[in-house]
């Protein structure tokens, strides 16, 4: 009897020791994270995929930009139109609360995790990657792209959920620079730490990326991170951080790069809605819109939201459209369908209302309002902004040989059929930013970073925000506060 038990026992031991391999079945069709991140090709694709959250509706896919315009008063829900979808009630009526706020938090951190997965491998397993014809520079380019995307995500989070005017300095955003576990409960960094991390990522990226690097295989070379994108983003970040000299220097680097030219007054009304941004022109970085993108907002993209026969939620306010001097090409008005490509604001085709709509998102012509919505590229950085950054920096004490605030503003105005100014104050720069950059998502954040107040009335809403209003920092989604015990809500929104 005993010997059978011994044999059985031995058999069991033998089976147990050999079972580790037996019980491991790895996915072979979908790609495991491990496999994806095991070589240069996989990492390259992982960086390419990391752009996709930018197309989400909470970000450049529509509402990061349009909601900001709505809050700042450049945009309004039209009063006398038959239909609006109701998608922009919260920013218009400023009814933000933790359960009704921007969902950027989720998508920005998704992008950040995409980049951290890549950076983690590059930092820790570099030797596995340098095989075949892959060079250190190839890896550095990927790393630079990932760092710049991570910086952009942290920066956009900070602008939305934090304050950049120097108040509430303890409420920066969570700085995520390593791959996280679901159980990790990060706390918010200070605003200063957030800026430091963003600038650190961008300057590292700048030093790593080869001059002239452009991601291969893309449709629109202006929709990827290039050395100039990093510099332009640094100019903007330094401006927000009030490092005036560096803001001016980086803006100058772009202006003097000879790769971009200011659109002329003739060009200005027809440059929007192009499939790809061509060489020259103003576009430094844009987010590429296409239905084939993994993320596409379809009916909720900016083309449909700003289309009077689309969802028709986001019209231009008269406060904005009345700002333009006669002749300024940026304030030209017409009729949608008739004056497309010739004006910057248009009423609906039937002219049923006097409401004007921006034509910056008139679409690429790949759809129509009733069957398939159109798509649009959303410009993030362009040359005019660089002139305006430099002008503002100079007025705040920066100095650049051969440049003045007045000459920078007038360089733009000269190309817009607008009369040259004779002097340039900070207020002039601020106004010029509205005239030039309206509906591109700037005004709200400009008001915040400069500690301004907002006073706005359009007949339906009256908005008076002082510089200390809680709304300058939008609430973090309640679910995220509930899930992370270390995450503190912005002041004024309850616990």
Partner 1 sequence: MKKTRFVLTCLLLAVSSVLFAQNIQVRGTVTDASTGEPVPFAAVQIQGTTTGTATDANGVYTITAPSKATLVFSSMGYQTQSVAIEGRAVVNCILAVDSEFLDDVIVVGYGTTRREAKTGAVATVSSEEIAQVPATSVDKMLAGKMAGVTISSEYGQPGSNSQIRIRGTSSINAGNEPLWVVDGIPVMSGDQGYFTNSTNAIGAINPNDIESLTVLKDAAAASIYGSRAANGVILVTTKSGKAGKASFSARAKYGVTTIANDNNFSVMNAQELYDFYSAAATNAGKTIGDYYSPSVLDGPMTDWFHDLFRVGKMQEYEINAQAGTDKSKFYSSLSYSDTEGVAYATHYKRLTGRINSDYKLTSNLEIGTRVNLAYTENRDTEMQSLYYSNPFFAGLSIRPWTPMKDENGEWNVNIPENSNTNPMFVALAHGEDQWEKQFRTQAAMFLQWEPVKNLVIKTNNMFETTFGQGVRYWGPDPGDTEGVLQGSRSQYLQLTTSNTVTYTMDFDDHNIRLLAGQEAMRRTYEGMYGYAPTVDAKIPYFSTSIASESQIEDWFNARTMLSFFGNVDYNYANKYFVSASIREDGSSLFGAKNKWGTFWSAAASWNISNEEFLSDSKWLSLLKLRASYGVNGNNNISAYQSYAVYSSAAYNGANGMMPTRPSNETLSWEKNKTWNIGLDFAFLNNRISGQVDVYDRLTTDMLLDKQVPATSGFTSNFMNIGSMRNRGVEFQLEGDVIRTRDFNWTLGFNMAINRSKVLDLGDDEWMASSYDSRLRHVVGREFYSFYLRDYYGVDPTNGEALWRATDPEHPDDDSYYLLTNDFSKSRYIYAGSPEAKLTGGFNTSISYKGLSLSAFFEFKTGNYVYVGEMRYLNADGNQMTMNQVSSAANYWKEPGDTGVNPKPIAGNATNSYNISSTRWMQKGDYLRIKDVTISYNLPEKLLKSINMKGIRLYVSALNPYTFHDVYWWDPERGEEGMGFGIYPQTKSYAGGIEISF
Residues 218-257 that bind partner 1 (CB under 8 A): 218-220, 223-224
Is 495 among the residues that bind partner 1 (CB under 8 A)? Answer: no
Q: What are phi and psi of 10, to 5 degrees?
A: -60, -40
Is 292 among the residues that bind partner 1 (CB under 8 A)? Answer: yes
Q: How far is the CB of 195 from partner 1 (least distance, A)?
A: 19
As a dihedral over the C-alpha atoms of residue 163, residue 59, residue 434, residue 492, rounded to 10 degrees, the angle is -30
Which of 6, 10, 11, 192 forms a contact with partner 1 (CB under 8 A)? 11
Tell which positions 475-494 bind partner 1, by CB under 8 A.
Answer: 479-480, 482-484, 487
Which of 176, 235, 254, 356 forms a contact with partner 1 (CB under 8 A)? 176
DSSP assigned state of 92: H
Which of 63, 109, 272, 361 forms a contact with partner 1 (CB under 8 A)? 109
DSSP assigned state of 378: E
Beta bridge partners of 76: 315
Q: Which helix (H) or strand (E) holds 239?
A: helix 227-240
23 vs 495 by CB, closer to partner 1: 23
Residue 145 near residue 285 (C-beta atoms within 8 A): no
Residue 142 near residue 459 (C-beta atoms within 8 A): no
Q: How far is the CB of 293 from partner 1 (least distance, A)?
A: 5
As a dihedral over the C-alpha atoms of residue 430, residue 257, residue 238, residue 437, rounded to 10 degrees, the angle is 30
Is 19 among the residues that bind partner 1 (CB under 8 A)? Answer: yes
Q: Which x/- pattern over 34-63 shows residues binding partner 1 (rule: CB under 8 A)?
A: x-x-----x--xxxxxxxx--x--------
Tell which positions 200-219 bind partner 1, by CB under 8 A.
Answer: 215-219
Residue 388 near residue 433 (C-beta atoms within 8 A): yes
Beta bridge partners of 42: none
Tell which positions 145-174 bind partner 1, by CB under 8 A.
Answer: 174
The total number of residues written for the chain in this structure:
495
Is 24 among the residues that bind partner 1 (CB under 8 A)? Answer: yes
| Window of 16-24, 121-129, 234-242, 463-471 that interacts with partner 1 by CB under 8 A | 16-24
* CA pair distance 383, 387, nearest whole angstrom: 7
Q: Which x/- pattern over 434-473 shows residues binding partner 1 (rule: CB under 8 A)?
A: ----------------------------------------
Q: Which has the closest alpha carbon to 50: 116, 135, 120, 136?
A: 116
Q: How far is the CB of 258 from partner 1 (least distance, A)?
A: 25
Give how many residues touch partner 1 by CB under 8 A: 71
Q: How far is the CB of 407 from partner 1 (least distance, A)?
A: 36
Which of 38, 85, 106, 452 forms a contact with partner 1 (CB under 8 A)? 106
Helix axes 383-395, 426-437, angle to 10 degrees: 170
Q: How far is the CB of 233 from partner 1 (least distance, A)?
A: 18
* CA pair distance 360, 357, nearest whole angstrom: 9
Tokens 């008001």, residue?
A: 447
Tokens 């005036």, residue?
A: 244
* CA pair distance 60, 163, nearest whole angstrom: 20
Torsion sign (Cα): 414, 357, 104, 60: negative
Q: How far is the CB of 226 from partner 1 (least distance, A)?
A: 13
183 vs 322 by CB, closer to partner 1: 183
Beta bridge partners of 335: 347
Residue 81 near residue 312 (C-beta atoms within 8 A): yes
| Window of 20-28, 162-170, 333-341, 349-357 that interacts with partner 1 by CB under 8 A | 20-28
| Window of 112-120, 196-204, 340-348, 394-402 that interacts with partner 1 by CB under 8 A | 112-120
* CA pair distance 80, 89, nearest whole angstrom: 16
Is 14 among the residues that bind partner 1 (CB under 8 A)? Answer: no
109 vs 471 by CB, closer to partner 1: 109
Which of 167, 180, 204, 396 forms a contact with partner 1 (CB under 8 A)? 180
116 vs 269 by CB, closer to partner 1: 116
| Window of 90-98, 141-149, 182-190, 323-331 that interacts with partner 1 by CB under 8 A | 182-190
């Amino acid at each position: 009897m005993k010997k059978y038990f011994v044999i059985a026992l031995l058999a069991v031991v033998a089976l147990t020791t050999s079972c580790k391999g037996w019980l491991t079945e790895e996915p072979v069709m979908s790609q495991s994270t491990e496999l994806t991140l095991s070589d240069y090709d996989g990492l390259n694709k992982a960086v390419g995929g990391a752009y996709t959250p930018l197309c989400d509706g909470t970000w450049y896919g529509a509402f990061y930009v349009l909601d900001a315009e709505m809050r700042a008063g450049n945009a309004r829900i039209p009063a006398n139109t038959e239909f609006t979808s109701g998608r922009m009630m919260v920013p218009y009526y400023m009814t933000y609360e933790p359960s009704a706020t921007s969902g950027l938090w989720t998508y920005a951190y998704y992008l950040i995790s995409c980049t951290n997965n890549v950076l983690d491998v590059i930092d820790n397993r570099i030797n596995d990657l340098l095989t075949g014809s892959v060079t250190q520079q190839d890896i550095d380019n990927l790393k630079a792209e990932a760092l710049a995307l991570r910086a952009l995500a942290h920066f956009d989070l900070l602008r939305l959920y934090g304050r950049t005017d120097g108040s509430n300095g303890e409420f920066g955003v969570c700085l995520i620079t390593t791959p996280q576990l679901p159980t990790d409960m990060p706390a918010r960094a200070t605003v200063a730490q957030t800026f430091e991390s963003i600038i650190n990522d961008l300057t590292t990226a700048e030093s790593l990326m080869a001059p002239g690097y452009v991601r291969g295989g893309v449709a629109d070379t202006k929709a990827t991170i290039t050395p100039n994108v990093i510099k332009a983003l640094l100019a903007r970040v330094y401006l927000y951080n009030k490092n005036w000299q560096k803001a001016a220097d980086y803006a100058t680097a772009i202006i003097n790069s000879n790769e971009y030219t200011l659109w002329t007054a003739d060009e200005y009304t027809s440059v929007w809605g192009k499939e790809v941004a061509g060489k020259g022109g103003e576009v430094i970085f844009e987010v590429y819109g296409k239905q084939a993108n993994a993320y596409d907002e379809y009916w909720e993209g900016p083309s449909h939201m700003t289309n009077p026969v689309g969802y028709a939620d986001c019209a231009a306010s008269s406060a904005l459209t009345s700002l333009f001097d006669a002749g300024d090409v940026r304030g030209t008005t017409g009729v949608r369908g008739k004056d497309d490509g010739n004006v910057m604001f248009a009423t609906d085709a039937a002219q049923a209302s006097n409401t004007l709509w921006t034509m910056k998102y008139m679409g690429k012509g790949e759809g129509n309002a009733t069957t398939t919505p159109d798509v649009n590229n959303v410009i993030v950085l362009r040359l005019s902004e660089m002139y305006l950054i430099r002008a503002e920096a100079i007025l705040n004490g920066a100095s650049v040989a051969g440049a003045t605030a007045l000459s920078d503003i007038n360089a733009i105005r000269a190309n817009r059929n607008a009369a040259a100014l004779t002097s340039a104050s900070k207020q002039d720069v601020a106004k010029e930013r509205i005239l030039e950059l309206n509906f591109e998502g700037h005004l709200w954040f400009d008001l915040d970073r400069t500690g301004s107040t907002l006073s706005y009335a359009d007949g339906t809403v009256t908005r008076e925000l002082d510089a200390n209003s809680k709304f300058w920092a939008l609430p973090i989604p309640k679910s995220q506060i509930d899930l992370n015990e270390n995450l503190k809500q912005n002041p004024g929104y309850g616990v």
